[in-house]
Amino acid sequence: MSTFTEEKTALSPTVVEHASEGGEEADCRLHVQTKQHWGNIYIEPTPVPYYTTMTPYDYGHYHDRFLEMFTPILDKNFPDRANNLDVVEIGTSYGNTTLAYKCGLDWAGCGKVWSDDSITLVPTRTVNVTAVDMSSPALTYGLNRGIFDTIVVHDFNAYPPAALVQSLDNADVLVLIMISSYIKTLPLQRLCFNFLADRRKKKVIAYNDTCAFDSRNLSPEALFAGIKNWTTSTHFTKHRNFTESESALRHGCKESWSYTYIVTFDAIEVDNVNVH
Ligand SMILES: C[S@@+](CC[C@H](N)C(=O)[O-])C[C@H]1O[C@@H](n2cnc3c(N)ncnc32)[C@H](O)[C@@H]1O
């Protein structure tokens, strides 16, 4: 487990620091310096500051759209909701995306659960969630609330620890939502390729990018070039409203938008399993 420090939660400096590491690539296409710094909302003991800070910017709109797009794809690929699904989710924060696919909760539903610890979660699908984030308080909260099953405090730009590699290898579903502007391309691909190492079963990856803060081509065609047997469901959706200072840097534009890709990798015969 890596050590969590306050500097690392100052998200812009963290990414700038990674971008200056050199060696892997120049991440000049990550425009996180022009993204609002939200202070300590990711490292408070509860998600309430995160929820009350983000709700006025209509962050819940994306959450609700993600719930609508992801649920039918999970149902189509894994129709038996009682059949345990192993999920690895990267950048979970306090677990709002998790609550969407695990309990069918929209943003308002997350707000209710997060503001009242006496509310019991009612899963609509049996999932075993390994949650990865560098915020120990967020992960601890989600574990204690029964949102996550296993937590890994980890900087996702670093090499994944062996136990996480194993979890990725075993998993049916990999979720990376609202983290693209914080992750370099090679670490992103490494997580995906660890997940895709064993193609003997069907696997699904859900990820998105936020175009205003990240001008890389992260389409599945680019990320999974050379990988066999996948199809994507692609959605262009509002991410949230810009803050005033973000808007001022963008000629007064009001909304940040996002591409979401839900990619299904069908199983490959064992004889052909060596695909990358
Ligand atoms: C915008 S929140 C996303 C939360 C949730 N997935 C959602 O869709 O709303 C971004 C999360 O990424 C985490 N994060 C940012 N940079 C990180 C890094 N380098 N390693 C691990 N986690 C990081 C933050 O702690 C935060 O919880």
**pLDDT digits over 210-250, tens only?**
999 999 999 999 999 999 999 999 999 999 999 999 999 99
pLDDT value for 11: 32
Residue 202 backbone zone (phi > 0: left; psi -120 to 50: alpha; other: beta):
beta
| Pair type for strands 203-210 and 255-265 | antiparallel
Domains and CATH numbers, the chain: 4-272 (3.40.50.150)
Is pLDDT above 60 for 104?
Answer: yes
Distance CA 68, CA 76 (A): 13
Structure confidence at residue 16 as a pLDDT band (50, 70, 90): very low
Residue 205 phi, psi dihedral angles, 5° rounding: -115, 130
Average the pLDDT over 248-270 and give the result.
95
Q: In what order do the strands lie in the sheet with 85-90?
A: 150-153, 127-133, 85-90, 173-176, 203-210, 255-265, 230-241
Expressed in angstroms and rounded, the spacing between residue 269 Cα and the centre of ligand 1 is: 35
Query: Over the chain, what is the mean pLDDT?
Result: 89
Q: Kindly report, residue by residue over 176-207, the tens digit of the pLDDT.
A: 999 999 999 999 999 999 999 999 999 999 99
Ligand 1, residue 157: give the atom nearest the CA.
19
Q: Which residue matches tokens 């710094």?
A: 37
Expressed in angstroms and rounded, the spacing between residue 124 Cα and the centre of ligand 1 is: 25
Distance CA 198, CA 275 (A): 9
Ligand 1, residue 15: give the atom nearest the CA.
19
pLDDT value for 269: 82
Average the pLDDT over 105-129 and give the result.
98
pLDDT value for 19: 33
pLDDT value for 37: 86
pLDDT value for 34: 85
Expressed in angstroms and rounded, the spacing between residue 26 Cα and the centre of ligand 1 is: 21
Q: Kindly report, residue by residue over 58-94, the tens digit of the pLDDT.
A: 999 999 999 999 999 999 999 999 999 999 999 999 9
Would you say 43 and 9 are in contact if contact means Cβ atoms under 8 Å apart?
yes
pLDDT value for 275: 52
Distance CA 176, CA 206 (A): 6
Of 7-16, 85-94, 135-144, the poorest mean pLDDT is in 7-16
Give the closest residue to 240 by CA, choosing from 255, 259, 258: 255
Average the pLDDT over 157-171 and give the result.
97
Give the closest residue to 193 by CA, choosing from 275, 114, 271: 275
Structure confidence at residue 8 as a pLDDT band (50, 70, 90): very low
pLDDT value for 23: 38
| Maximum mean pLDDT: which of 10-19, 25-34, 36-45, 88-97 | 88-97
> Which residue blocks in the chain are alpha helix, DSSP H?
11-19, 48-54, 60-77, 96-103, 107-115, 136-144, 162-170, 185-195, 220-223, 244-248
| Pair type for strands 127-133 and 85-90 | parallel
pLDDT value for 21: 35
Give the closest residue to 50 by CA, choosing from 110, 104, 129: 110
| Closest C-alpha residue for ligand 1 atom 27 | 93
Ligand 1, residue 154: give the atom nearest the CA.
21
Distance CA 227, CA 231 (A): 11
Of 19-28, 127-136, 158-167, the poorest mean pLDDT is in 19-28
Ligand 1: residues with CB < 6 A are 11, 14, 42, 91-93, 96-97, 133-135, 138, 155-157, 177-179, 182
CB atoms near residue 112 (< 10 Å): 10
| Closest C-alpha residue for ligand 1 atom 18 | 155
Expressed in angstroms and rounded, the spacing between residue 227 Cα and the centre of ligand 1 is: 27
Expressed in angstroms and rounded, the spacing between residue 271 Cα and the centre of ligand 1 is: 38
Angle at 24 between CA 196 and CA 194, to 5 degrees: 15
| Closest C-alpha residue for ligand 1 atom 16 | 182
Share of the chain above pLDDT 70, in %: 87
pLDDT value for 15: 28
Average the pLDDT over 4-25 and give the result.
32
Expressed in angstroms and rounded, the spacing between residue 66 Cα and the centre of ligand 1 is: 16
Share of the chain above pLDDT 90, in %: 83
Distance CA 226, CA 192 (A): 13
Q: Is the pTM of this model over 0.85?
A: yes
pLDDT value for 272: 57
pLDDT value for 39: 81
Expressed in angstroms and rounded, the spacing between residue 42 Cα and the centre of ligand 1 is: 8
| Closest C-alpha residue for ligand 1 atom 11 | 91
**Residue 109 amino acid letter:** G
